Structure 1
Amino acid sequence: MADGEEDFSALPLPDRFVHKNWKVRKEGYEVAAKEFSLAASESDPVVRQFIQDAGIWKGVVGDANVAAQQEGLAALCSFLDIAGTQGCTRTRQHTVSVIAEKCLPSTRAAAKQKAVEALMLYVELDKPDPIIEELLPVLSNKQPKVIAATLDALTQLYHAYGCKTIEPKSVLKALPKIYGHADKNVRAKAQELTVELYRWLKEAMKPLFWAELKPIQQQDLDKLFDKVKDEPPPKQERLLRSQQAAKEVAMAAGGDDEVEEEEEEEAVIDLEPEYDPVDVFPKIPQDYTEKLNSSKWKDRKETLEEVQKALNHPLIAEGPFDELIRGFAKSMKDANISVVMTAANCVELLAHGLRKKFAKYRSQIMGPILERLKEKKQTVTDALGAALDAVFASTNITECLEDISECLKHKNPQVKLETTRFLIRCLKTTREVPSVAEVKAIAELSTKLLTESQETQRAAAAEVLGTLWKIMGDRMMGTHLDGLDEIRKTKIKEFYEAAEVKAKYKPKPVAPPKAAAPPPGKRPVGKKPALGMKKKAPVAAAPPPPPREEPEPAPLIPKPTSRPGVSKLGAPKSGLAAPSRLGGLKKPGSGLAALSPRKSVVSPPPEEEAPIPAPKLGLAGRGLAGRPLGKPQLEPMQAPVAQVPSGLSAVERAEMDELRAEVERLRRQNEDIRSERTYLNSQISELQNQNAQLIEDHTRDVLSIKAKETQLVRARSDYEAAEQTVQNQRREVDRLKRELSRQVRATSPPPADLVEQIYTDTNSNGRYAESNTNGRYNDSGYGSQGAYGRTRGLASGPLSPNGEGRDSAMSSISSRGGRVSPPEANTGGMEPPPRLFEPTRQSQASVGAESWKRAAEVTQNLKQRIEMMKVSLGEFGKV
């Protein structure tokens, strides 16, 4: 085995990469990764052979053994790191799709991480578009785990590089299909990707895919969006190689402007879908103008509806739309609001379809729409507002400000209010910062509107100022807000903090005060900026006759003569007067030295190299005493040449320029600190207000809960009292019933003849039945079932406990001879006797008492019948 391993190690790396033994392949990947990390550049032979044989990497990343695959991915990452753009472009067509299908779904976390890192390197080394094009087809894979892993990799790519670097359109268009997948893990990963894109794009991404989602999916995504809506804008965490090079160049130039420009560009991401322009003129009615002049509003509306259908396209081909615009403007004055709304919808569609090409029609339609804002119906104002927004999207705030300013002074309050709201929307959506004059005009008009009587108008004006403040910053808006009272400032501050704008005013950097042109030649003392300026010195120093070994003092010679003002002032005082008085000077501090302080910087030696040390010594130099007094006429013109006419040496002037620049930087820093402190104080006050509001709400809720509990206790006590009252009433009712029954029994009349009563009841109720089961008589006397039926009736019938019914029945039977004749024999052909209880019912004064009385009588009669049937059954047995 040891000999075999030695043979494998002797094989070339490409042969080991394709070996059938996975251990050999694994060791080959490890050795290759080490050699790639030690290579100096992409021209190294080890790297070069794998660049030329790029197809070998397909088998590396798709290795069947997971351990070898992991090492192969590590080798690929090491190779890409050293191979550069050439290695990236040659290998990505072989590896990206295989990585997505076989490496990203790996169960090994290290292998999955290396696979994502390889995709990151592919994006970093060249450009991301080919990588996205390779990954999108993988989203249609049959295996859900492959799709989920690819979505996760896309999420990480966008998180690292951002939507400014990686184009999001193609991914957004593929999202609806992914949301229709049956696997829940795929849908969950799709949601994560959508949320990551929302962090960069916000609401601007919705038009590309939102309409194709189901309502429940939209609701779920809205809940996820709310969690990241208030997060600060994300920043790109990983840069492309091209971006890294540009950043290094910018840092070498010594400025942060590149970073600011990059942030500004990130705010503008093109998410507009690509459409083909449509020619809408064939679909517009030929008699458009004639129908708009019709006296019937339905004809006018139908015409505009046809035009609306024709204009309903995302991109409209350019053409002569003047006639249509004139018709829309005329419809804005229509008396029927349906016509007005339809015309506004047409304007909105046309402006969206033409986009920037609609700007030439703005002056014809914006004024009539603004005038029609006097309508108070919300549906009309919404349609007009949407049309105005579409018109503004094709132009800018400079072109629209004149019409807006006129309507902000309108006598109709509704027009004034809706125009103010339109101005707020314009300020929030514009990407161009208003000029200083426009800011002043808007601020003055809004300040006047703060004094309006309507609270909605005042709030809208405050929102205008707050939004404008957000765009322009504290310095530009400070002068416009100084004259306002604290209450209004607080209201404006609230709108300022809540405003979301797309434009941001950035003042131009202040140029250093004359430090770039005249002084640079006087800064040769080891300063880096001065090194670049040294090369320009010989050009300006060409006129001086004596050659200098050092180029530093050369610019000092032509500078005084290059300025006419300096030569006129410097020559008479220092150039002419000095030679005439030099012979009488004995001390360096007297005479001319006292009159002109500029003489203190003049170098005394007569040699040509004397001006060089003069700036270093400054005012404490050698003075006039070091100059030979015998040669005053030899240097009449050299003295003003070596002097600094301004009275400062080159070093002092350079130091002054540096101090001025430092002061300016400190002022800017101080201003930034002040603005930050103001912002933090406002946040503190806002949080304090929120805390106080929460405490107040909590107190209110506690009091409300206590009040509810009190009400509940009272309700329970009322319920118990009512329940007690009901029980008392029930007992009282029972007592009255018993009393009433006793009174009815006491006052009831004696019963009539029982037999007559029985016959009467029987005839009146029609109860002569033919069946023997009830124990009644039939046509032939007592039937065979009569005795059985009567026995059952007797057994089941109620008996009086005192036997009163039985005694009555016996007395009735004895009075008739001891036998009871059938009812047919006694009552046939004769009318029944009168009812027993008729007189009793007529004599009752109370309905309730009558009912109780009758019930007692019926009970008594039943008892008598039962006794009578008993007697009959007994006699029948005797017979």
Structure 2
Amino acid sequence: MAEEDDFSSLPLADRWVHKVWKVRKQAYEEAAQIFQKTPDEYDAAFRPFIQDPSLWKSAAADSNVAAQQDGLAALCAFLKFGGREGALRARQNAVTPIVEKCLSSTRAATKASAIEALLLFIEVDVPGPVIEEVLPVLSSKQPKVVAAALGSLTQIYHNYGCKIADPKPVLKILPKVFGHADKNVRAEATNLAVEFYRWLRDAMKPMFWNDLKPTQQNDLEAQFEKIKAEGAPKQERLLRSQQAAQERAPAGGGDDAYEDDGGEADEPAEMDAFDLAEPQDVISKVPKDFYDNLGSSKWKERKEALEALYAIVNVPRIKDADFHEINRCLAKCMKDANIAVVTQAAQCIELLAKGLRKGYSKYRATVMQPIMERLKEKKQVVADALGLALDAVFLSTDLTDCLEDITTYLVHKNPQIKEGTMKFLVRCLRTTRDVPSKQEIASIVESAKKLLSESSEGLRSGGAEILGTVMKIIGERGMNPHLEGLDDIRKTKVKEFFETAEVKAKDKPKPPPPAARAPPGGPPKKAMGVKKGLPGLKKAAPAAAAAPPPEPAPAPAAAPRPGPASKLGMPKPGGPGGLKAPQKRTLGGPGAASPRRPAPAPSPPPMEEEPPASPPPKPAPRLGLGRGGLAGRSLAKPAAPAMPAAPVSPPPSSGFTAIERAELEELRTANERLLKQVDDARHERAKLMSEIQELKNQNAGLIEDHTRDVLSIKAKETQLVRARSDADAAEQTNDRLRRELDRLKRALSKAEAAAAGPGSPGSPRMGFRTMSPTMDDMGIYRDVSGGRNRMSMVSTLSEEKENGDGGGGLPHPRSKLSPELRYNGSNASSGRGSPARGFRREVSMEEKEPRTADMGAYGGGGGGGYGDRAGSRTSSRTGRDTPSSVGGGGTAPATSGMESWKRAAEVTSQLKARIEQMKAKQASRPQ
């Protein structure tokens, strides 16, 4: 116990660094109690720790976990009750030990105190220095330290938000921690990314998203989906400076001051990728051959050049440089004939405008008009790219700069350009944060009213949408004067768009200046009288001025004393010589009216009550002339000036106004009737135009059907011509076959005659020697002159060659005089290669063989072989022996004739069958 008493007697600073942990623990506890009891931040209890801030480093890095817990509690009390100076001094020594030693502690109280100490360090000053102290710890070799540091960063951004704590330094290192080998580190990195998404949404993705693995991206997307439905996050802890401002706000100037300081303040703009990213130099990365390729005659080279530029400028933020030449080339690409080049150029303009923001405003005049000229493109892909480019250009400027070009193209002759410009104006009105001036609103409203009378429904709806969006900005009361003259249908349409429009700029009524405010006692009576108006006072003066002066009396009895004269020499109305006395005396007259009383009901004075006509008065003398001037006139007859004042009295004027009102009402009614007729005519015209368009479409369909029918008819005609040609060919074939049949019939009859015997009538042997060399029906030339029988087979040989019978399939040429070989080698078909021709040649051989035998007998050749020159000639021509030489005798011709007759009968029957088949086929063909 003596030892403990000795420890307690030591100064607090000595016990703070004592080697016994219990002594240090007691010192930490005692310091925390002292800090809580201090009256203010200037108490002497804080002075030792302000002078020696390294004491907090030893407390945060205490080797004993129990003492470390109490040391962090003392630090939190010091930061909570102490001043800003002591906290700044302690921050440099305490943050790193807290992150390295305390956040990864196994004690929950120690971890909570460590995170609270970091949040208090930020609350006293700003978050930046604390985050800078935490980031180096993320490179530690111990995964638990890295995970604890990431958890502390998540708590910092959760409590103070990304508006107070800059997220850019942490976003840069997120890919590194996502690639850590420890799963706990990756889990804490995911929590930090989700916290960033609560504040930044998709604006944070360009900073690190492409560096993540697809699996990690999918996991994060699943986490993001859970918090998308949440509203905008709010800052949970305030800095000391924010707390002081909040405390001062109610006492600054009452309710008005509170509203000005923040009661009606607009919500802060959301952070985007542009605010988070660092500017990148892209102008130096443009290829040297970019301009040459962009001017190439091949569209693929131009498109590839633009794709290379797109890849270069596709960054969140671009460093400002000279982009005039690039924008001139991109504006020129808007006139390119290839839509792929136009689309790519529009995307490049969009990225440049988004990357430069306000720095792109100087290039607006170069690219905006070419883009709007290209809005005539009907392809939706191109139109979308051009619209996005225009929106990005508008964000770099304001409505005042773009309004002139917009109003110019709203009246373009091309309806496609007009519609695209109208949609662009609507988007501009929705996104602008500056309320347009009165002149700009008048110009926009005038252009929108012109669109209401267009024939296209899309343009009319667009005009109503423009008016509804303008009404949302300036309010219904401010828009009422601009809606005069519109019919109820259009006003209803404008109101519909007004109710659904969403704008960022709203016109707020400005309070009147202090000088214009009414005094507490109310307005003066004179002002009230002038404001309400006294018709008697206003109308009496013109009546008195218009009345001609009366004729001066010729001989006044006594000149009255003139009253005080005015600057023009006339007496003042209030003087005794004024004109009020005569007016009072003539109140009973029908044309008189009191200047102090309102005019009576409009009723013209009766004509019969007027006095008789008097001679016209003489012209009044000029002011200041005459014997006595105006002041010297006599007032003996005051009723004289009442009569000239009658024509200008209020009653006749009031009656004329009623007539004018009636006429005005009639004109208005007629105008409304005409407007209704014009509107009906316009609707009728629109209906007729739609019917015309439908008829045009039907006409186009009929033309297409007619063209299709004509083509079908031509195809049928072609088929008919082909069928006719086929029929003609078949007819020719039929004729040829008929002739062939006739020829075969004649050959058959001759064969029958030959079979009857050589002595029978009709035999070819009869009169054989008297025949002249002619060609018979079988195509055989005979020459019987000189006792010779010569046969020419040239025509038969040529026909057989044409039909493929020229020895095909035989090892050597076939004899033309051998009926057996000729028949066996022929086909069974009709025509030139038919067996009938072999039969004809057999008949010829029958005619020739007897003669040959006789000639052989005469020449001594005997019964075998050919004894004459004819025999040798025939033998040499055929190249082989004849049947007569082989058979040797006179019985060969008879046997050969019988066999030939049988074969001819068979061939004839076959030919008849084939002819019947061909006729059947010909009859079945379509004509």
In structure 1, distance between residues paired with 2:152 and 2:467: 44
Q: Which residue of 2 aligns with 1:340?
A: 342
SS in 2 for 1:209: helix
Judged with a 3 Å threshold, the aligned counterparts in structure 2 of structure 1 residues 268 and 78 are, in CA distance, closer, same or farther, namely same
Q: 1:101 to 1:366 in 2, by over 3 A?
A: same
Aligned equivalent of 2:32: 33
Tell me if the contact between 1:284 and 1:307 (Cα under 8 Å) persists in the aligned partners: no
Matched, 1:250 2:249: yes
Give the structure 2 partner of residue 390 of structure 1.
392
Q: Which residue of 1 aligns with 2:7?
A: 8
State the Cα distance separating 1:447 from its structure 2 match. Answer: 7.1
Deviations 1:35-58 (A, max 9, x none): 112223444332110111111111
Structure 2 partner of 1:175: 174
Structure 1 residue 84 displacement after superposition:
1.5
Does residue 419 of structure 1 match 2:421? yes
Distance 2:285 2:97 in 1: 51
- Asked whether the equivalents of residues 31 and 74 of structure 2 are also in contact (C-alpha less than 8 Å), the reply is yes
Post-superposition shift, 1:208?
2.2
Describe the shift of the 1:26–1:396 C-alpha distance in structure 2 as closer, same or farther (beyond 3 A).
Answer: same
Q: Distance between the aligned counterparts of 2:480 and 2:177, measured in 1?
A: 51
1:27–1:313 CA distance, 2 compared to 1 (3 A): closer
- Structure 1 pair 287/258, CA: closer, same or farther in 2 (3 Å)? closer
Q: Decide whether aligned partners of structure 1 residues 62 and 377 sit closer, same or farther in structure 2, where only a CA change above 3 A counts.
A: same
CA contact (8 A) 2:429 2:469 kept: yes
Which of 348, 364, 380 in structure 2 is aligned with 1:378? 380
2:59 is the counterpart of 1:54: no
Q: Distance in 1 between matches of 2:147 and 2:337?
A: 58
Report the TM-score, using the length of structure 2 for normalisation.
0.49
Residue 59 (structure 1) shift = 1.8
1:67-114 deviation digits (Å, cap 9, x = unpaired): 322221111011112332111111112211222232223343333222
The answer to which of 326-335 and 123-132 deviates more is 326-335
Q: What is the 5 A alignment of 1:393-792?
A: 393-427=395-429, 429-439=431-441, 441-442=443-444, 488=493, 492=497, 495-496=500-501, 499=502, 503-505=504-506, 507=508, 510=511, 514=515
Q: Is the 8 A contact 1:77 1:118 kept in 2?
A: yes
Q: Which residue of 2 is the match for residue 274 of structure 1?
A: 278
- Asked if structure 2 preserves the Cα contact closer than 8 Å seen for 1:96 and 1:119, the reply is yes
Amino acid paired to 1:337 = I
CA distance in 1, matches of 2:290, 2:201: 43
The Cα of 1:468 is off from its aligned counterpart by 6.1
Structure 2 unaligned segments of length 5 or more: list them.
522-927
- Matched residue type, 1:342: Q
Q: Which residue of the partner structure matches residue 586 of structure 1?
A: none
The structure with the larger Rg is 2
Displacement, 1:372? 1.0
Partner of 2:74: 75
Distance across 1 between alignment mates of 2:470 and 2:183: 46
Partner of 1:225: 224
Q: Which amino acid aligns with 1:258?
A: D
Give the SS at the match of 2:82.
Answer: helix
Deviations 1:686-740 (A, max 9, x none): xxxxxxxxxxxxxxxxxxxxxxxxxxxxxxxxxxxxxxxxxxxxxxxxxxxxxxx
Matched AA of 1:34: Q
Q: Give 1:383's aligned amino acid.
A: A
Alignment of 1:849-868 (within 5 A): none
Could you tell me whether the CA contact under 8 Å between 1:283 and 1:310 is conserved in 2? Answer: no
Distance (Å, rounded) in 1 between the aligned partners of 2:214 and 2:420? 32
Give the AA of the match of 2:141: K
Q: Deviations over 1:498-524 (max 9, x none)?
A: x5x6x443636625755999879xxxx
Structure 1 unpaired stretches of 5+: 521-879
* 1:10–1:274 CA distance, 2 compared to 1 (3 A): same
Asked whether the equivalents of residues 42 and 48 of structure 1 are also in contact (C-alpha less than 8 Å), the reply is no
CA distance in 2, matches of 1:220, 1:345: 31
| Superposed displacement of residue 367, structure 1 | 1.2
1:366 alignment partner AA: M
Aligned 8 A contact 1:463 1:495 in 2: no
* Distance (whole Å) between structure 1 residues aligned to residue 505 and residue 8 of structure 2: 63
Deviation at 1:14, TM superposition (A): 1.7
What does residue 194 of structure 1 align with?
Answer: 193
Q: In 1, Cα distance between the equivalents of 2:247 and 2:424?
A: 44
Contact 2:279-2:319 at 8 Å conserved across structures:
no
CA distance in 2, matches of 1:235, 1:475: 35
Are the counterparts in 2 of residues 105 and 146 from structure 1 also a CA contact under 8 Å? yes
**Aligned residues of 2:448 and 2:463 also touching (Cα < 8 A):** yes
Normalised by the length of structure 1, the TM-score is: 0.52
Paired residue type of 1:206: K
Match of 1:274, SS state, is coil
Q: Which residue of 1 aligns with 2:145?
A: 146
Change (3 A) 1:495 1:169: farther
**Matched position secondary structure for 2:397:** coil
Query: How far is 1:297 from its partner?
Result: 3.5
Residues 1:155 and 1:331: Cα distance change in structure 2 (over 3 Å): same
Find the counterpart in structure 2 of residue 732 from structure 1: none
CA deviation digits over 1:546-575, x for unaligned, max 9?
A: xxxxxxxxxxxxxxxxxxxxxxxxxxxxxx
Distance 2:448 2:191 in 1: 43
Give percent identity, aligned residues only: 55
Root mean square deviation, CA, Å? 3.9
Residue-by-residue CA offset, 1:806-851 (whole Å, 9 max, x unaligned):
xxxxxxxxxxxxxxxxxxxxxxxxxxxxxxxxxxxxxxxxxxxxxx
The 3 A distance-change label for structure 1 pair 210 and 450 is: farther
Are residues 126 and 414 of structure 1, via their aligned partners in 2, closer, same or farther at CA, if it must alter by over 3 Å?
A: same
Deviations 1:192-217 (A, max 9, x none): 33333333333333322233233443
Rate the CA distance shift 1:512–1:519 in 2: closer, same or farther, 3 A.
Answer: farther
Aligned equivalents of 1:233, 1:302: Cα separation in 2: 42
Q: Is contact 1:284–1:310 with CA below 8 Å preserved after alignment?
A: no
Query: 2:904 matched to which residue of 1?
Result: none
Q: For residues 421 and 275 of structure 1, what CA distance do their matches in structure 2 show?
A: 32
Q: Aligned-pair distance for 1:61? A: 1.6
Amino acid at match of 1:367: Q
- Asked if 2 retains the 8 angstrom alpha-carbon contact of 1:375 and 1:414, the reply is yes
Classify the secondary structure of the residue corresponding to 1:246: helix
Counterpart in the other structure of 2:107: 108
Instruction: State the distance in 1 between where 2:230 and 2:450 align.
Output: 36
CA contact (8 A) 1:428 1:467 kept: yes
The aligned amino acid for 2:67 is A
Amino acid of the residue matched to residue 336 of structure 2? D
CA 1:125–1:252: 2 relative to 1, 3 Å: same
SS of 2:249's equivalent in the other structure is helix
Q: Give the structure with the larger helix fraction.
A: 1
- Contact 1:280–1:316 (Cα < 8 Å) also in 2: no
Partner of 2:365: 363
- Partner deviation per Cα, 1:245-300 (whole Å, 9 max, x = no partner): 33334333221222258755565677241224344497344864xx7666544454
Q: 1:363 deviation in Å? A: 1.5
CA distance in 2, matches of 1:484, 1:280: 58
Residue 29 of structure 1, CA deviation: 0.9
Q: Does structure 2 retain, via aligned residues, the 8 Å contact 1:73–1:111?
A: yes
